[in-house]
Chain A
Amino acid sequence: MLNVDQLTGGYAHVPVLHDVTFSVPDGTIAGLIGLNGAGKSTTIKHVIGLLTPTKGTITVNGLTIQQDATAYHQQIAYVPETPVLYPELTLKEHIDLTISAYGLPVKETWEKADRLLKMFRLDNKLDWFPSNFSKGMRQKVMIVTAFMTEAKLFIIDEPFTGLDPLAVHDLLTIVQERKAAGASILMSTHILATAQQYADTFILLNNGRVRSQGSLDQLKQEFGMSDANLDDIYLAMTKEPAAS
């Protein structure tokens, strides 16, 4: 369960987010939707603790990062928009390193990892260096290392760009598995059709504020567009005059 309460923040002296409040309950997938520059990535950076809020609190299962950074991070798995890998480590060592960092049981975790590696067709590339991987493969490595952990909150930034259709399908499968197991998933994306299909709730960000949030039905009601899809609502939102 992720709780973001009246979050105001951004980069040093450049406030990007204003009074952002939303939550992602256990066992739900929340889509974080907004234009470029709306504040999606900034929100994510606050949640993972890279940025410190100027106002407001962020809790994951009741714990803030200030209380115990290690325990806080233990609950989170993150798939960044641009894959970040260690140039000196092989794929196998990336998995070992993640096991080590999160203190995971070696044998069981490797079983999980093997399944994910097979799914993403990386199982025969365990001794490769990241420099030999294509962008999509790197993205897959990030997904594997994130989803082999026992995290309670998964944060996925723009997961679908650069992945082949099969991988998108597989990613959505494992996301739903985790949802069924009770994890919260926060996913920022531009691919609205996919978001509409898989996310339970949506958080529509506009100019650093939450314009609207809730299930698709709630959004339809709020925008007064009874037979609209997420696309239409999104376009309607972007056409609204910017609230100053």
Chain B
Amino acid sequence: MKTLWHQRQQRHLTQQLKYLRLVFNDHFMIALIFLFGALGVSYANALKGITTLWWGKPVLILAFWALLQVGQFASLIFEADSVFLQPREADMREYLRGAWRYSLPVPLTALLFVGLLAFPFAVRGAGVTTLQWAAFLLILVLLKSTDLVRQGLGLLMDQQTAARGRFWLAQGISVLSLALSVYGPSWLAIVAILAAIGWYMWLTTTFQRVIRRSRIDWLVAIGREERRQFRIYRFYNLFTDVPGLTSSAKRRKYLDVFIPRLTLTPPHTFTYLYVRGFLRGSEYLGLFLRLTIIGAIALYFIPTWWAAALVAALFIYLIGFQLLPFAGQYSNNVMTFLYPVPPASQQHSFARLLTVLLLLAWVIFVIPMVWQLGFSLLTLAAAAIALAVTLAFIYLYAPRRIAKMQ
């Protein structure tokens, strides 16, 4: 069973890495770096003038309690296992132990990373001592580890009622021990750590006891693992095509208001096709929205006009560049080739879609720029530079690039 687990873990890991490489592609990384840069600068600025806030501690506790919910037990159980692993049910202990270990690193890294990021705020804004914060982070690690044991326990037979009770108990202990660690004198933090350790010990011994006599509840385990993986793959699918999870078109009737009413004549043929393909397909609409929203948020935090102009121009370029492959979306459909429509009309239709989308992005970007920089000549200059880049992209860059792609 140990070997089986190792094989699965290996395969799962390779697959995740393959997708993560696609998710964190060059363009997305550039966008993220700018976003984090902009957020970091404004975080540092905000911290400068801060004094201890009464809501600092409650917000920290609530935020980290919410973050504790992230990260699920990755059992990597397949549907076929309920048939093929039935005879080995008694051995599932080793398998589940492996799954628990495998589930740990991602949520723990996330908790500690955010924990370190929040450290300056905790000290300056919430009046937490360094030692208290260290205890806080240690408790987070213990609570998450216990939480994963609890989730693993929930995969066993006849645990459904007990699981519900344990869920609420877990939430109570989490909030309580986190609160104890930051409120009051330091010795209370030690009490909180002991409470978390006790909770961990109790659940692990329960797990050991239950698994000796209980079997895996295959239906529950398979269902949970499928939902978990589906969520992850749906996220990957925003960036790339996940086989099996076909990026099927969605009707999205509410977006029909954006479809222009055009006469059904040959020059409008490809506009008809492109607009619907864009609004109902999963790929390009998501990409456009993602980059536009990230860009707008980044611009909201940029206090210098030329930096704002640069970031706006960069995001316009990124959005436009990622939309270009959509021009060839239907080139493998033989019917588009057969339409008695001149090829120039197809290029024209795509150019119009691109123009509308990039100008829309530009308008959306100007709003946070004006918000942050105010009405001034320099704001106007920044908006004008971004607009110039938009138009240059549409009229100079895109046609050449598309010609090269075909």
| Contact A88-B341, Cβ < 8 Å, known A101-B269, A131-B249 | no
B101 at the interface (CB under 8 A from A): no
Interface, chain B (partner A; CB < 8 A): 248-249, 251, 264-266, 268-269, 272-273, 276-277, 279-281, 330, 333-335, 337-342
A66 at the interface (CB under 8 A from B): no
A172 at the interface (CB under 8 A from B): no
B254 → chain A, closest Cβ, in Å?
A: 15
Q: Are B339 and A131 in contact (CB under 8 A)?
A: no
- Interface size class, chain A: 20 to 34
Instruction: Give residues 46-82 of A contacting B (CB, 8 Å).
Output: 48-50, 69-74, 76, 78, 80
A105 → chain B, closest Cβ, in Å?
A: 9
**Chain B CB within 10 A, most for which of A50, A99, A102:** A102
Bound form: Cα–Cα A129–B279 in Å:
14
What mask results when residues 112 to 151 of chain A are scored 1 for a CB within 8 Å of chain B, else 0?
0000000000000000010100000000000000000000
A89 → chain B, closest Cβ, in Å?
A: 6
Q: Which of A69, A88, A97 contacts B269 (CB 8 A)?
A: A97
Instruction: For A105, give the chain B residue with the smallest CB separation.
Output: B264
A200 at the interface (CB under 8 A from B): no
Q: Are A88 and B272 in contact (CB under 8 A)?
A: no
Q: Are B266 and A102 in contact (CB under 8 A)?
A: yes
Q: Which of B248, B269, B272, B279 contacts A131 (CB 8 A)?
A: B248
Bound form: Cα–Cα A88–B330 in Å:
11
A100 at the interface (CB under 8 A from B): yes
Instruction: Give residues 76-110 of A contacting B (CB, 8 Å).
Output: 76, 78, 80, 84, 86-90, 93, 96-97, 99-104, 106
Bound form: Cα–Cα A90–B337 in Å:
20
B249 → chain A, closest Cβ, in Å?
A: 4
Sorted nearest first, the 5 A-B pairs with minimum C-beta distance are A101-B339, A74-B340, A100-B264, A88-B249, A73-B340
A200 → chain B, closest Cβ, in Å?
A: 25
Q: Which of B248, B266, B272, B334 contacts A96 (CB 8 A)?
A: B272
Q: Are A87 and B249 in contact (CB under 8 A)?
A: yes
Instruction: For A70, give the chain B residue with the smallest CB separation.
Output: B340
| Contact A73-B249, Cβ < 8 Å, known A86-B333, A88-B280 | no
Q: Are A80 and B340 in contact (CB under 8 A)?
A: no
Q: Are A103 and B338 in contact (CB under 8 A)?
A: no
- Which residues of B are found within 8 Å of A78, using beta-carbon distances? 334-335, 338
